[in-house]
Structure 1
Amino acid sequence: MKLGLQLGYWGAQPPTGVAELVAAAEDSGFDAMFTAEAWGSDAFTPLAWWGRDTSRIKLGTSIVQMSGRAPTSIAMHALTLDHLTNGRLILGLGVSGPQVVEGWYGQPFEKPLARTREVVEIIRKVLAREAPVTNDGPHFPLPYNGANATGLGKPLKPIVHPLRADIPIWLGAEGPKNVAQTAEIADGWIAIFYTPKSASMYQPWLDEGFARPGARRTRETFDIAATCHLQITTSEDERRAVIDYMKPWAALYMGGMGAKDQNFHKNVFERMGYAELAGTVQELFLEGKKDEAAGLIPDELITDLHIIGDEVYVKDRVAEWEESGVTELLLSCRSADEVRQIAGVLL
């Protein structure tokens, strides 16, 4: 199983020490580094900036929010960065949620599955560069023929010849229909709450997608990239502290990342068997009682979602994740020394 360095998105200020993290990942045998975006920093610029001093490690977006750019614009970013990195880009995409899509980007959130399919199809047409790009779908018509159209729109091919027509496209997905479609049309899946314990829930959804006519991949050629916090500890007190540190993050996703009546992350926790807990955590979180919400998160949930323990425990747990179908673990690391430590144990 491969390891990816998850750099995420920025907080109030740009993070420090990232260049050292990336250099350590490159030198230690990590397969890829990933950057993200929410409603602050974008995914492409940091990836290009920090990736400029690398020569081997793959560069991935985890994830680019589809509503923030036209599909052809996403394709332009991808083909440009793929050229600059000599074919090392992994294009990770996702629909985000209605609060961000409609509140930040000013776009409708309706029919996310259909929009995803159109975005992927258009990007692949651009990268293939076989003909001027057109699209008859209702979400991203090319040429544009809607209200106030001049009628002068012209189908175009990219000026730049893409380095690779088959840049890997990985999709972030959580629900049954979204995961199944990801298995059908994408090269990989960026899973946020995939664990060995929950893997059996996802397998039928993936199988449905692989079985569809024209599916792009098979289970054997499909990547599953699972986000996980992995930390090697040397004492039970240290392990206890890390588990407690992760609980507010679980409460945030369970209760605060989405609207009360439409929180896709909360839905995943409900499917995992935590429906009653998720409801209570959300109520407390939305009332501003974040510490109380975090206090309700059980240890077993954290140790299911993340890998925290001594070297022997970490090796055993990583083997379980690999056995469950994960091809790449996306890890957030705090220092170059931690990157090297994890690589020394696992690689």
Structure 2
Amino acid sequence: MRLGYSLAYWGSAGLNLAEHRALVREAERLGYDSVWSAETYGTDPASLMAWLAGQTGRIALGTSVMQMPARRPVAAAMTAATIDQISGGRFRLGLGFSGPQLVEGWHGLPFERPLVHARDYINVVRMALAQEPISYEGPTLTLPLPDSQGKELTLAVAPVQERLPIYLGALGAESIRLAGELADGWLPFHFPAGHLADCTGLLREGAERAGRSLEGFDVAPMVMVLVDDDLETAYDMMRPMLALYLGGMGSRRMNFYNRLARRLGFEKEAETLQEAFLAGRQGEAISAIPDELVDLMTICGPPARVRDRLTAYREAGATTLVVGVVPPTLRLRLDQLRIIAECAS
């Protein structure tokens, strides 16, 4: 199992540009396989990966995830091919559909049939990256426009990689099947190891639907990790980020992370913390997250405990574990990258 490092939402961690660069370079020095940057309504992850391509020499560069509603699929393909050229073939295109808050509130688009949109989107991105003339007709996308002056065009720059990896961020059963059917990797967020093992069967179902093999497919869960001898302190450091995801990362009617917590058996706690978070009572929301849920959705505690949890992810089928680190300072984050690498060795 390889290690990846998540920058999360660049700009939200209280670190400056030079400090983030130092963390990525240290991850590369320690043997981390990849670095990933997320997208909400702040910094653009593709721009950051292009910048980091010139600051690094080996580590793979991924988006986790670029929002499909934010870019036309051919624009995403152009971006991916460009960064792949700049980096010498190190780019990984992580895509996701986001949720109604961002799709409708930030991009001004209806949140409708996300899986149908995602299928059309990935198909067109794949065609463009393969430098095929773009001629496509799907339920949500037709290129060129019929009865128009449009013509079939071909991406004028090829990626370095013969098949540039496309990853899909997915939490629900059908979206996981879609990853197995169309993508080269799956990016689940805050997934427990046991739940990961249960869901790999969905990947196989998707692959079978497409008549393809999952050989070389990258199962790459993103999990917050904190190595600390004081388990209670570790729990408390994990709770604020979990409260944000489970309570505020989505609307009251549709929060995919909150739904995941409910599926894991924490329906009452998920409801309580979401209600508190959306009402502006963040402290109450943080306190509502039980130790057991923190344990399932993160990896934290003394080194021996962290080693056991890393082993559990490996045995559950993870081929890359993308770790997020939570300490507030550069020195502490650098220490965590080193200690996590030691625990994984």
State the TM-score bracket (shorter-chain normalisation): over 0.9
For 2:14 and 2:280, the matched residues in 1 are separated by 27
For 1:245 and 1:43, the matched residues in 2 are separated by 25
For 2:153 and 2:36, the matched residues in 1 are separated by 31
How big is the shift at 1:12? 5.7
- Structure 1 runs (4+) greater than 4 angstroms displaced: none
Check if 1:98 corresponds to 2:100.
yes
**Deviation string for 1:278-336 (max 9, x for gaps)?**
11221222221211121111111112222212222221211111001111111123532
For 1:181 and 1:199, the matched residues in 2 are separated by 16
Check if 1:191 corresponds to 2:192.
no
133-142 vs 170-179, which moves further:
133-142
The one-letter code matched in structure 1 to 2:221 is A
State the match for 2:222 in structure 1.
227
How big is the shift at 1:43? 0.9
**CA 301–229 in structure 1, closer or farther in 2 if over 3 Å, else same:** same
For 2:112 and 2:164, the matched residues in 1 are separated by 27
244-253 vs 93-102, which moves further:
244-253
Q: Counterparts in 2 of 1:139-158, with a 5 A limit?
A: 139-145=140-146, 151-158=148-155
State the match for 2:330 in structure 1.
none
For 2:189 and 2:218, the matched residues in 1 are separated by 14
Q: 1:300 aligns with which of 292, 296, 299?
A: 292
Q: 1:278 aligns with which of 270, 274, 289?
A: 270
Contact 2:266 / 2:293 at 8 angstroms: preserved in 1? no
For 2:259 and 2:338, the matched residues in 1 are separated by 36
SS for the counterpart of 2:318 is coil
The one-letter code matched in structure 2 to 1:243 is Y
Contact 2:169 / 2:187 at 8 angstroms: preserved in 1? yes
| Structure 1 portions without partners, runs of 5+ | none
Contact 1:18 / 1:50 at 8 angstroms: preserved in 2? no
State the match for 1:82 in structure 2.
84
The one-letter code matched in structure 2 to 1:226 is P
State the match for 1:136 in structure 2.
137
For 1:14 and 1:74, the matched residues in 2 are separated by 29
For 1:306 and 1:266, the matched residues in 2 are separated by 15
**CA 344–49 in structure 1, closer or farther in 2 if over 3 Å, else same:** same
For 1:312 and 1:40, the matched residues in 2 are separated by 37
Contact 2:89 / 2:159 at 8 angstroms: preserved in 1? no
State the match for 1:111 in structure 2.
113
**CA 203–164 in structure 1, closer or farther in 2 if over 3 Å, else same:** closer
Q: 2:167 aligns with which of 140, 165, 170?
A: 170
**CA 159–213 in structure 1, closer or farther in 2 if over 3 Å, else same:** closer
What TM-score, normalized to structure 1? 0.92
Check if 1:207 corresponds to 2:204.
yes
State the match for 2:15 in structure 1.
15
SS for the counterpart of 2:7 is strand
For 1:14 and 1:43, the matched residues in 2 are separated by 17
How big is the shift at 1:200? 4.5
How big is the shift at 1:9? 1.4
Identity %: 39
How big is the shift at 1:232? 1.8
SS for the counterpart of 1:198 is helix
Contact 1:127 / 1:164 at 8 angstroms: preserved in 2? no
State the match for 1:3 in structure 2.
3
How big is the shift at 1:33? 0.4
Q: CA RMSD in A?
A: 1.8
SS for the counterpart of 1:8 is coil
For 2:241 and 2:76, the matched residues in 1 are separated by 30
For 1:134 and 1:243, the matched residues in 2 are separated by 51
State the match for 2:257 in structure 1.
265
The one-letter code matched in structure 1 to 2:94 is G
Contact 1:124 / 1:165 at 8 angstroms: preserved in 2? no
SS for the counterpart of 2:136 is coil
Check if 1:311 corresponds to 2:303.
yes
For 1:15 and 1:214, the matched residues in 2 are separated by 46
For 2:139 and 2:113, the matched residues in 1 are separated by 11
How big is the shift at 1:94? 0.1
The total of aligned residue pairs comes to 337
| Structure 2 portions without partners, runs of 5+ | 328-332
Contact 2:200 / 2:317 at 8 angstroms: preserved in 1? no
Contact 2:116 / 2:139 at 8 angstroms: preserved in 1? no
